[in-house]
Each structure stands twice: as structure tokens, then as C-alpha cells.
């Protein structure tokens, strides 16, 4: 009888640790995304693009797009940190927010490199694994998020990054 109690207690303890690690990973990824957005904003400002707004792409508010407008013409970039590959499939396919603008193709940014398709799943998962290593102290850097980027507006030739 006491074996069952010990086993149940052990399983509950492992479950609580797993949930705690998952919550810490989520917080770390969110902090990393904020830091990356700050660096991205600095980079965009050197290109004449200024942040103008942030809007939610889902009802929960966990999936946001950052809008950068060009100072010289009517256009800019929509940029969003990615959390799951499934979100990448539907990203910016609806043009509801900027329906009056012509839209460019979606491309992805991971670790300073751009991709025309969502980065290799193994590459993306290695970034997630790095976040867990950072949480438990096995790595000195956190995760680098995948960003989806899409141009909009009438000055797409001027908006090259």
C-alpha cells in the first residue's frame, strides 16, 4: 500500500517540476522576444523605419505583429515573433489590417539569417532546446526567436533590409 503512495507522490512531484520548467521556458522565451524586438527596432530605425503600432493576431493576445512604417513613403514592415510552426502557415494571409496596401511575400528571420520558407524544424527546435539549457544553467545565452516578416505599402523597393 505504501508503495502506491510513494509512486503517486513521485509522479505528482515530477509533474509539478515539469510544469514549473515549462512556465520558466515560456517566460524566458517572452523575455528573449522582447529583447530581440528591441534590437530589431534599433536596426529598423537605422533603415528609416519607425515602430508605429502592435496589434494582436489572435484573440488571446499571445500572437502579436509589430508594425514599422517608412519615414519617407507610405509603407513598411509587419514583423512577428513565431511560437509554433502552425502559426507560420496562417501568418499575414489575411490582409484585414492593411487591406489598402499591396503586400509582399512572407519570409522568416532566425539568428540573423533570412529564409523564404519556415526554417528547418531541427534548426528551430535547437533554439527551443537552448532556452531550456539556459533556464537550468547549462547555457549562457537564451533562445533566438524566429520572426516572420512581410512588407506592405507602395515603397517596397525602398524598404529592402
| Tens digit of each residue's pLDDT (9 = 90 or more) over 90-101 | 555 555 556 677
Residue 4: inside a domain: no
| Whether pTM exceeds 0.85 | no
User: How many separate domains does the chain show?
Assistant: 1
pLDDT at 110: 76
Residue 12: inside a domain: no
pLDDT at 131 over 50: yes
Residue 161: inside a domain: no
Q: Are the C-beta atoms of 144 and 32 separated by less than 8 Å?
A: yes
pLDDT at 18: 72
* Of 92 and 34, the one with more pLDDT: 34
**From 12-26, 36-50, 68-82, the region with the lowest mean pLDDT:** 12-26
Q: What are phi and psi of 68, to 5 degrees?
A: -120, 120
Residue 3: inside a domain: no
Supply the range of the domain harboring residue 35. Answer: 25-153
Helix spans in 97-160 (H): 121-135
What is the distance between the alpha carbons of residues 103 and 3, in angstroms, rounded to a whole number?
63
Confidence of residue 126 (pLDDT cuts 50, 70, 90): low
CB environment 131-160: b (16+ within 10 A), e (fewer): bbebbeeeeeebbbbbbbbbbbbeebeebe
For the residues 77-92, what does the mean pLDDT come to?
A: 62
Residue 10: inside a domain: no
Residue 104: inside a domain: yes
Q: Are the C-beta atoms of 85 and 99 separated by less than 8 Å?
A: no
pLDDT at 88: 47
Confidence of residue 82 (pLDDT cuts 50, 70, 90): confident
Residue 120: inside a domain: yes
Amino acid at each position: 500500500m505504501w508503495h502506491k503512495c510513494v509512486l503517486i507522490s513521485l509522479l505528482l512531484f515530477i509533474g509539478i517540476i515539469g510544469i514549473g520548467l515549462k512556465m520558466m521556458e515560456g517566460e524566458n522565451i517572452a523575455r528573449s522576444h522582447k529583447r530581440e524586438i528591441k534590437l530589431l527596432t534599433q536596426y529598423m530605425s537605422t533603415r528609416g523605419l519607425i515602430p508605429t503600432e502592435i496589434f494582436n493576431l489572435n484573440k488571446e493576445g499571445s500572437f502579436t505583429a509589430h508594425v514599422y512604417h517608412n519615414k519617407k513613403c507610405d509603407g513598411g514592415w509587419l514583423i512577428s515573433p513565431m511560437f509554433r510552426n502552425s502559426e507560420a502557415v496562417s501568418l499575414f494571409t489575411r490582409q484585414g489590417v492593411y487591406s489598402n496596401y499591396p503586400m509582399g511575400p512572407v519570409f522568416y528571420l532566425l539568428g540573423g539569417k533570412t529564409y523564404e520558407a519556415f526554417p528547418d524544424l531541427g534548426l528551430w527546435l535547437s533554439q527551443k532546446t537552448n532556452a531550456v539549457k539556459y533556464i537550468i544553467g547549462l547555457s549562457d545565452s537564451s533562445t533566438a526567436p524566429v520572426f516572420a516578416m512581410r512588407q506592405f505599402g507602395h515603397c517596397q523597393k525602398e524598404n529592402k533590409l
